Each structure stands twice: as C-alpha cells, then as structure tokens.
A and B are shown apart, each in its own frame.
Chain A
Amino acid sequence: MAATKASKEQKYDRQLRLWGDHGQEELENAHVCLINSTASGTELLKNLVLPGIGSFTIVDGHKVSGEDVGNNFFLSNHSIGRNRAQAATELLQELNTDVSGNFVEESYKVTSSIKTFSCRVNNFWFYFHSTCLRLGSVLWNANVPFLVCRTYGLVGYMRLVVKEHTVIESHPDNALEDLRLDQPFAELKSHIQSYDLEGMGKKDHGHTPWIIIVAKYLEKWFSEHNSQLPKNYKEKEAFKQLIRQGILKNEKGTPEDEENFEEAIKNVNTALNPTKVISSGVDDIFNGEQCNDITSQTPAFWLMTRAVREFVQNDGSGNLPVRGSIPDMIADSEKFINLQNVYREKAMQDASVVSKHVEALLQSVGKVCGPYSCILRCCSLSSACSMDSADGEMVLYLMLRSVDRFYQQHSRYPGVYNYQVEEDISKLKLCVNSLLQEYSLNVNVKDDYIHEFCRYGAAEPHTVASFLGGSAAQEAIKIITRQFVPFNNTFIYNAMSQTTATFQL
C-alpha cells in the first residue's frame, strides 16, 4: 500500500495535543549534547529524537564493547570495536529523518572548551555520566541547562543544574477556580442582579447555574451577617442550609429534584474561598530584581510579570487579572454561555489593561499569560548538601556519592568482578564514612546498602536505564518547551521498591 505523504502534523499529532505548536517549535529549534552514549543516554536521546528535537550531538571517546551492546538498543554487535558515539548516532538518527544527529569521537575533557562545539542555538544540554564540577560551572554561567543522569544497579539518579528557568504555561493539575464571588466585579454583579430566583418558572429555576445561586444567597447572608463571608464549619453549614431551603417544593411539600442546587451546596466550601490575596510566592517574583529593573534586554517573562504587577497595584484592587474560565455545571445552554461570557469578557478586559502596561514598558506583546508561572532556581553543583536524615532514597544518594569517591581513590568502581565483591565492601565503607565526615552528617548507613552497591558492580540494567532515560527526556522537554514544571532538583529512582523521591539540594 502506498504510504501517503506524511505531514509532520500527522506524525506529531499526539504530542501536539500536549504542548501545542509553539512547544513543538521550541523543540525543533533545540540542540542537545549528550556526553557518553551509555544505555541511559541513548534511551534519553531516543525520547527526544522521536518527538522531533532539532539536533543532537554525542560526545564519546569509548569504543563499543560487548558489554555495551548487551544493554543498549542503539548499539549492535557489528559495531563492537568502533567508536561508540558514531555507532549510537547512526541507530538513533534512523529513528527520525527530521532530526540531525552528530557525533564527536573524543572523551570530554575538563579542559576542552565549549566553544569547540558550534553552539549557535540557545538550548544546549549536557548529559553526563559522572559528576563534573567544572563543566557544571561553565554551563551555569552560560545559563545552559545541565542534566546529570546515571543508572547504577537498580538505582536511577538525575540532577538538574540551571541558574534560572521560567515557566509560563505550567498547566497546573488542580487549580482552584477564580470565581470572585466574595468580591464580584461590576459586570458580574449586574449579571447576578438580572436573575430573580423567586420569580422564575420551574424549568428556569432548575437550570440556573450554581454560581448564580451561591451569589444570590450570599447577598442574603451578607445582609444578615454584616457583609462577612461564612467563615467556619458551622457558618458554612448554615449557609448550605439556607441554599437548601431555596429548593422548589411540589404541591405535597417535598423538595423537587434540583441538581443545580445540589451542585451549589456541594461547591460552597471552595466557592467561598476568598479571592487569593497575592501569595508569598508571587510576591517574591514581583519583588525580584529583574521585575524592578526593566531594560531593553529584559526577557519577555519579566516584562509580563512587571506588567501584571502594575495591574495588581493600579487596576485590580490588589488582585490578579481574572482568569475567565468557569467549570461546567448543570444549566441550560443560554444561561451557561451568558455567565461564561461575563467572566471571559472581564478576563479579556483585564488582559488588555496588562498589555497596555507592557506597551508602556517599552515593548508590545500580543499574547496574554495566565497567572500560572513559577521560577525554578537550582543550586549549582558545588553547593554542599546539608541533610540530617538518611532513609529511603536519601541513602541511595549517599551511596552514589560514595561509589564516586571509591572511583577517585581506586580508579575503578566496587565489585565489578565477582572476586572483588567481598573485599570491596570494607573499602566502600571507608568511602561512605569519609563522605559523612566531610559533610558533617550524623547519619547511619546500614551495611546492607554498602553490600548491595558492591553487588551492583556498576552494572546498568536496561530496564532501569530506560526508566531513567524516559524520565530525563520528559524533564528535558519541559525545559525546552517552557511548559509544565520540571523537577527541582535531585531525583532518585529505586527500582527495588519502585519508589522515587525528589530532593532540593
């Protein structure tokens, strides 16, 4: 069967539904660099190549070994003896002809200059097998995101190192609604007034949106309670009762089946949350240095943030712009659409005020951002970690640092060969203790973990590498597309118990 010409949209359809055309554009303009094409590394790249990353470069001086082929889908036994970067690039490139793959047949040395890689593109990722402080600091200063990943036995590890990463579209999972029932804006007030619950017919009564119902009864409550919102459990229950009494009754006096009233009662708890006074997180952003000093070099994120701050201080009476969305609810189409439009139009109004502020701030911007933004500030690799407990995944992190220390001292990892396992246990224990001492950590690492890490023999089982590579690629995509919130900043995967943990170190 002749294959029809595959448009990119068709091929990337499923992912476009997640991050949109602009996210895809960012992805296609990105250039990432992988250092060491281990199984974890090639799995990570696979998950970037398939969705269409612009290009990648693998830097690796190793030759392909039999062991490498055993756990790596992108190395074949025919390539044993060849340069590993080249061999892996071939099989990764083949996954997607839209992507451009490159390789450098050298081991990355600390002294190599980054400029030898023609990085004209702004996103340039490094993935590294073992920690490298000096590389980390170079990238830190260039604000190039650095993701360190490794798979060691049944443990996966990721560390994100980036000076600052701003996210505008975080797509939060369960954001509370922004209904402004405690302080309705003018247009909402007059819309509410247009309803006369007592005077309407039965059909209209049962199809009035619950937002209107709550608003109406809130007016009643305000008149009897000195304009104070129901505050505690008792008051909220009383308020719900008030609404319940409004349900129409039939001739016999039994209440009718009015689902919209039930919805109103159900939603009282969240609907009466006072419109969020600016949270401390947002406050921090508003008071940030970049928000205060706007120059012609200021990036879009800070421009918009400043404009929003201007709005909050001058036009919004201390509130952020209205979000404009309402949840679905029982109502007839007309009532629902009209109510929805009231919120939408207000949101658009607020947005245009914000853009006027932006214009006034030197640049004009066409798009409007929602209130979902956050900033990740990570610590550079060299900042000392201070932890006081060592259980679960934290122990695994300590063990990873310890095996690196072992490598520094013995130029090999513990337990690689069977005969080494036993004797390396005591050597590794020394490394663990010296690490704990150096960081003044008063923790107890059980001997079982030391034994287990010797047992691993620095193996990289494919299934664990695949989990980590997949996770790492996901985070990389978040950073490149500037959507959704990346982890911050250390992630451990424990394949023994199938648990994970994220620490901010």
Chain B
Amino acid sequence: MVVDGGRDGGEWDGRWNHINMFLERPGPFTHPDFEPSTESLQFLLDTCKILVIGAGGLGCELLKDLALSGFRHIHVVDMDTIDVSNLNRQFLFRLKDVGRPKADIAADFINGRIPGCNVVPHFKKIQDFDESFYRQFHIIVCGLDSIIARRWMNGITLMSYGVLDPSSIIPLIDGGTEGFKGNARVIFPGMTACIDCTLELYPPQINFPMCTIASMPRLPEHCVEYVRMLLWPKEKPFGDGVGLDADDPEHIQWVYQKSQERAAEFSITGITYRLTQGENTHSAILNSACATEVFKIASSAYIPLNNYMVFNDVDGLYTYTFEAERKENCSACSQVPQDLYFSPSAKLQEVLDYLTENASLQMKSPAITATLEGKNKTLYLQTVASIEQRTRPNLSKSLKELGLLDGQELAVADVTTPQTVLFKLSFTS
C-alpha cells in the first residue's frame, strides 16, 4: 500500500476507507435523498461546518468522533477551565493543562492528533453569541450538563428557523448523561419536538419544600441543601458575591462541616464528604450515537434517528427509542402566545410562582414586562439587584392594581430562552 506517512497534515492512502463505503455506495436502507458520490467526502472535509457546545465529558468525545468521521470545520464553545476531577474522563486534557480553558486545549489536542482537522475554540458562554453566529453552522450538537443551557440553545436554533425558508433549519442534536442513564435526540427546529416540548421528561431538580429545609430536615440531603441555599448566602464564608463552586475543595469543606453541624442538631446521620459534593456525570456512550446522527444528516446517508433515544445500563444495557411529539402550545416552538389565567385580584407573586413551578415552563428567574399606557414597563426583574429592589413591591400588588387589563400581553424573559416568551393574560372571575 502506498504510504504518505511522515508528512503532517497530508493525506494518506486508505484514510477514509471506513467512511467511503457509506458515501460512495448505494444501499437498500439509505435516505431517499441519498446519492452515492465521490464528492460527498469533499463536502464533509471542506465545506460542512459543525458546532459543538461543551468541551467536557461529552464534548471531548464528540470532537474525537466528528474528527474521525471526516469533519474538519468544527467550532467548540465552552466557558469552563480544566479541573483535576475532569481528568478521569475528559481525555483531551492532562495534568499540565489544569486551569486552562477547556475549549482551547481540546481544539489543540484534536488538531494535533488528526492532521487536517481545524477545530476553532471559543472560551465563552453560549449567551455571548447572538443568532448570527449560530446561523453559520450546518449542524449544532450539544454536550451540555445543564438543562438551562440546553433550553437556551433550543431557543437560538428556533430563532434561526424562518417560517418562509425551511432550508435555513439548523438541526440540533442533543445528548445528556447522568450516572448510568442518558439520552440522545435529534431536533429539527420548528418541525420536530423541541427540548421544551418534552420538558416534563426532564425531572425537575429535586426541590425539597422550603419548610423541610428550614425547620424539619429528615435526611442528610436536607441538611446539605440548608447549608447551600440558606446558610451560604447568609454567612458569605468566602466574601461578598462569591458563589458556591462545587469544584473548589475549600468551599465543599465548609459546606460539609456546616452540614454536619446541622445534622447533629436533628440527630441525623449520614453526612459524607461525597454526599456534599453532589451529582456526578459518567462516561459518554451516547456522544457516539449523537455523532453518528451528525454524520447521517450531513451525508444524507441514512434516515436520522426519529427522534429520541433513552439509555440505561444499571442492569444489562437497555435502550428505548421513540418519537417524541411536538407540543401544540409549546412555549418555545409553537409561536403562539402562552395563556395565563388569573383573577384580577391575584398578586403578581402568584404569576411568578406559576412561571417557575409549572412543569411545562420551569423558568428560573423570569423578568416580566408589559406595555402600560403606551410604555414598556418592567413589572419584576430579579437578575439585576437594583431593579429587583425597585420592582419587589409589585409582587405583593394585585394584577388589577398594577394596571393590567384582560387580554393583556406580557413579555417574559428568562435564562432558559434567548427570546422573550409572550403570554396572554386572561382574567378569571
């Protein structure tokens, strides 16, 4: 076999043999649009642009998978730096890289190991970019560990979808893991079920009732939550405005000690250092399924997953694949204003509670604005301290007192979505 070994960045014989079977040959199970061609490979190598969100456990795997499937123009976004506890599965990082941005190191490693690959890193938050950045990609694939971030990405891809121009759809492939469970899904924004359509499938983070945390703890977990949610903001052990960092051993040590004290008060046993640290993620198998889908969509080689795969390997290996359905009145993709039904004497606080607690909305810190007397008025916003203070009194006022009318439109902004969500307020008697 003729060999080109030794020349960096050069091609060599047989390099893409494993992939060419699927690009150059006709087959009985291919996508109806598929046409075997020797040019498909060139499209993958030279033109196709993929965006990977996250360079952690899933992201590292995704980058490797994509690079070895013929993709060369890959961008990766990640706002984190490398921690020692990442090294046991985020295999693009080494001890010497601790403290450096994940996106940068991941890109360097892949570009070095896979000649010709050009991964472009972005050490940024996904919210640092607007719709125009995202629109340049053919496919976006997420390796995130946060539902909020997922929903935000979901919203951005929906913005890029123009009703009049279906070719502008950017497929979103999403994978997630938690312990031994995981899922992979394919979303064609505006066409198939989006993240918010199936929000009820994501169990909301276990929120213990406040009264349990504050005065009636029973489990070690209640004690830890007490320290994290109530004691930390009160005592500010590491300074004003310093948030709890689950990767900082000094922070965890403080929480651990305080949790033990709390538990002792109520004769609760079982506080361990490990419990204090919380949930963990596991090695990624589903990333490969996601990458397979990217390949299928980019090459039209096969019909993509339709559209949700669940994976569990606690007992043997179990998967379940099904078609998640679009929700008619989905707050993200249905493009119809959401309905709100409240009595005019209801307090604004009740509306806020509904927005955060309702299983289909699960907002985190919604900001509510309305057009009153021709002017845009912020009724409540909590993410900016000064505005929060100014608008807090509104929470205890009734909707009627605030001047809201039946049929009024409310615009709600939240971290879970890049666009404001429109609600139509209808008064009940």
Contact = CB atoms under 8 A, between A and B. Distances in A.
A331 to B, nearest CB: 6
Q: B-side binding surface: helix, strand, loop or mixed?
A: loop
B415 interface: no
Contacts of A172: 314-315
B21 A459 contact: yes
A255 interface: no
A52 B312 CA distance: 23
Contacts of A77: 4-6, 10, 12, 115
Top 4 A-B pairs, shortest CB-CB distance: A66-B14, A67-B14, A470-B285, A467-B288
Contact of A337 (B10, B115, B266, B295): B266
A499 B319 contact: yes
B14 A485 contact: no
B291 A333 contact: no
Contacts of B179: 18
Contacts of B321: 497-499
A60 interface: no
Interface in B397-426: none
Nearest to A466: B288
A333 B265 CA distance: 10
Q: Which of B21, B91, B291 has the most CB of A within 10 A?
A: B21
A43 B374 CA distance: 62
Contacts of A373: none
A463 B288 contact: yes
B16 interface: yes
Interface string B10-26: 10111111110110111
Contact of B68 (A14, A331, A459, A462): A462
Contacts of B98: 1, 3, 6
B292 A78 contact: no
Chain B CB within 10 A, most for which of A47, A461, A496:
A461
Interface string A423-456: 0000000000000000000000001100110011
A170 B15 CA distance: 43
Given A73-B68, A495-B292, 12 more contacts: A6-B87, A172-B315, A337-B267, A421-B25, A448-B28, A459-B21, A463-B295, A466-B65, A470-B288, A471-B285, A485-B316, A498-B292
A455 B6 contact: no
Given A6-B95, A66-B3, A451-B27, A333 B218 contact: yes
A17 B293 CA distance: 31
B89 A488 contact: no
Contact of B15 (A11, A46, A67): A67
Chain A, interface size: which category?
35 or more
Given A18-B282, A66-B14, A3 B95 contact: yes
B218 A463 contact: no
B219 interface: yes
Nearest to B212: A330
A28 B293 CA distance: 35
Contact of B6 (A73, A78, A470, A484): A78
Interface string A6-27: 1000111111111000000000
A69 B15 contact: yes
B24 A496 contact: no
10 contacts: A13-B277, A14-B282, A70-B14, A73-B64, A333-B217, A487-B313, A488-B316, A495-B289, A498-B319, A498-B321
Contacts, number: 238
B88 A462 contact: no
A394 to B, nearest CB: 16
A461 B309 CA distance: 20
Contacts of B302: 154, 496
A455 B25 contact: yes
Given A418-B25, A495-B292, A474 B305 contact: no
Given A50-B89, A80-B12, A455 B27 contact: yes
Given A3-B99, A70-B16, A487 B22 contact: no
B87 A153 contact: no
A173 B315 contact: yes
A4 to B, nearest CB: 7
A51 interface: yes
Interface in B31-63: 61
B284 interface: yes
A406 interface: no
A7 B98 CA distance: 14
Contact of A463 (B6, B28, B65, B88): B65
B305 A498 contact: yes
Interface in A165-213: 170-173, 207
Interface string B137-181: 000000000000000000000000000000000000000000110
Given A50-B88, A331-B218, A457 B21 contact: yes
A440 to B, nearest CB: 28
A274 B73 CA distance: 61
A28 B64 CA distance: 26
B384 interface: no
B281 A14 contact: yes
Nearest to A421: B25
Contacts of A51: 88-89, 283
A108 interface: no
Interface in A459-505: 459-464, 466-467, 470-471, 473-475, 484-488, 491, 495-500, 502
Contacts of A340: 218
A17 B219 CA distance: 18
A102 to B, nearest CB: 20
Contact of B84 (A10, A72, A333, A474): A10
A334 B309 CA distance: 44
A46 B91 contact: yes
Contacts of B285: 467, 470-471, 474
Contacts of B115: 77
Interface in B311-344: 312-319, 321
A456 B69 contact: no
A224 interface: no
B268 interface: yes
Given A337-B266, A471-B285, A491 B317 contact: yes
A41 B140 CA distance: 29
A502 B292 CA distance: 21
Nearest to B209: A330
B15 A333 contact: no
